[in-house]
Amino acid sequence: MPYRAPISELRFVLRHVVGFDAVAATGAFAPCGPETTDAILTEAGRLCAEVLAPLRRAGDEHPARLENGAVRTPPGFARGYRAIAEGGWIGIAADPAHGGMGLPQTLATAVNEMMASACLALHTNPLMTQGQIEALEHRADAALKAVYLPRLISGEWCATMNLTEPQAGSDVGALRCRAEPLGDGSFAISGQKIYITWADNDFTANVCHLVLARLPDGGPGTRGISLFMVPKIIPDAEGRLGAPNALRVLSLEGKTGLHGSPTAVMVYEGARGWLVGEPHRGMAAMFTMMNNARLGVGVQGVGAAEAALQLALGHARTRRQGTTPVGDGSGPIADHADVRRMLGLMAAETAAARAVALGCAVAIDMARATGDAGWQARAAFLTPIAKVCGTEAGIAVADLGIQIHGGMGYVEQTGAAQLWRDIRVSAIYEGTNGIQAMDLVGRKLADGGAAARALIAEIAGAAEAARQTLPGMAPALAEAAGAQARATRAMLDLGPTDRAAGALA
């Protein structure tokens, strides 16, 4: 069954579930009416179905590799990346002042879902670049913006983020990477970073690394960390490329999945870098990129779920095994009640996770368009939820897809196992799901639960309004809203350790 871009499903959620029309009505995103939205979804869907989806298996069967210090990407990935870049999809939500489309994050999120469901390994590249674009837009000085943003938005250059070190994983404050002033406004960056997604490739002219490092006067922990732009090839003030920088890919990780996406150990040996944001405020600057990536990773989970659902549905509609309880008993396994149960669960999990992700994106857009504190709180509250909900759904749905395929799900020819292998890491990278949960019950409840209560009240109101139109579903929704309200009150009464113990329940 060939991949089908879920345009109708996305259109339904935008129009009838998350209230995207309110974003278009703000004036900040006025061109984004139904016709524009449909055109964007249709064009992006065509790219994903016709160009990106055929690359999924190629990336798994022909992994990225390191040859003589350079990364070689899977067959077709360069062509796929060029199609993404030439379509303007990398800069869909970026500032038009630097060449972006200036469209809502909600539409960028919908497009990212389709790209992730078509070819997750390749999608990780533009996702990283989109995060860096946002970080530079908010934190970089004018000179850095002028050099880097137009080329990142166009896709001429691509981007990474470098946080993790062998001794500093989730505990970023333990990093040892150093930054020494060179006296000309630049810094010499030295150290090793690991787990660097798309650290190099053979299809962009430059790779722009955002690197966390410590200045000589930087104190211990995260408060003493600064953020630096460290390009693979050093550009001049006009963006013309010059000498290679003193950095290299030491090795590529052999991973369970995402074989087409190179994950590298990077070495910086006095590489020249430029400060992004204020000294010793690197984590605040990097979190701009990380929050963007966390929503993006949640959407990757939704994309994997959609791909797994389509693959399982196609198999269930054609595979015949045993006597079925429908018609003359010779139908496909989709006629078996247990298979229908699994397919129904897959569809429900995918739809729910999609709605959460797009709801988070709508809150981000409304916050930007209106400056309203309530929308800002809603966006912050939903970000860890979108990351966890999307990734957990992706893993669970891909696992069910393997089950529906039976023994063929456990061999590689069907592609069902690849979907699970590719998405499994999403619960780990960009902040583990456990850390997201602790963030939710910690920092996100630091307002006394105001953002949580506002969302729960909205859900309860929707349940009450649905009692006449959906009498079979409204009571269950009302009960769930009540349970969530009680759980929130209970969390607010607990200390930090007890909150963390129940954060992911």
Q: How far does CA 106 lie from the centroid of its chain? A: 13
Task: Give the Cα separation of 452 and 100 in Å (integer).
Answer: 33
Same structural domain, 435 and 478: no
Exposed/middle/buried for 330, CB within 10 Å: 0-12, 13-18, 19+? Answer: exposed
Same structural domain, 494 and 367: no
> Which pLDDT does position 289 carry in this prediction?
76
> Quick one: which H or E segment has residue 357?
helix 337-370
Contact 260, 82 (CB under 8 A): no
Between the two ends of the chain, the Cα-to-Cα distance in Å is 36
Same structural domain, 319 and 386: yes
Token digits of residue 478: 């009302």
Contact 357, 298 (CB under 8 A): yes
Average pLDDT over residues 126-151: 96
Does 303 map to a domain? yes
Question: What are the residues whose beta carbons fall under 8 Å from the beta carbon of 418, sequence distance 6 or more?
Answer: 56, 57, 60, 257, 412
Number of domains in the chain: 2
Marked catalytic residue, from 238, 269, 430, 464: 430
User: What are the CA-CA distances from residue 273 to residues 132, 153, 207, 466 (Å)?
Assistant: 15, 20, 13, 56
Same structural domain, 335 and 453: no
Same structural domain, 382 and 466: no
Identify the domain containing residue 454 by its residue range. Answer: 448-505
Q: Is the pLDDT of residue 265 over 60?
A: yes
pLDDT tens column, 355-375: 999 999 999 999 999 999 999
Same structural domain, 442 and 499: no
Average pLDDT over residues 333-345: 96
Q: Is the pLDDT of residue 213 over 80?
A: yes
Same structural domain, 427 and 485: no
Same structural domain, 440 and 479: no
pLDDT tens column, 158-201: 999 999 999 988 888 889 999 999 999 999 999 999 999 999 99
Does 234 map to a domain? no
Does 452 map to a domain? yes
Does 424 map to a domain? yes
pLDDT tens column, 461-471: 999 999 999 99
Single out the residue in 447, 474, 495 at which a domain terminates.
447
Single out the residue in 402, 426, 447 at which a domain terminates.
447
Average pLDDT over residues 101-119: 97
Parallel, antiparallel or unpaired: strands 178-181 and 263-275: unpaired
Does 482 map to a domain? yes
Single out the residue in 447, 469, 489 at which a domain terminates.
447
**Max CA pair span of the chain:** 83
Closest to 130 in 3D by CA, of 17, 295, 6, 274:
295
Same structural domain, 350 and 452: no
Token digits of residue 427: 């619960």
User: What are the CA-CA distances from residue 299 to residues 69, 139, 158, 169 (Å)?
Assistant: 32, 25, 20, 23
Token digits of residue 143: 């000179």
Does 350 map to a domain? yes
Q: How confident is the model at residue 505 (pLDDT cuts 50, 70, 90)?
A: low
Contact 306, 348 (CB under 8 A): no
Token digits of residue 49: 């179905």
Would residue 430 show up in a list of annotated catalytic residues for this protein?
A: yes
Does 425 map to a domain? yes
What DSSP character marks residue 3? -
Does 125 map to a domain? no
Closest to 186 in 3D by CA, of 145, 144, 136, 241:
144
Token digits of residue 204: 């962009």
Token digits of residue 491: 């969390």
Same structural domain, 288 and 434: yes
Same structural domain, 288 and 431: yes
Contact 123, 112 (CB under 8 A): yes
Contact 77, 63 (CB under 8 A): no
Same structural domain, 375 and 502: no
Q: What CATH number did the domain enclosing 371 receive? A: 1.20.140.10
Closest to 366 in 3D by CA, of 31, 101, 104:
104
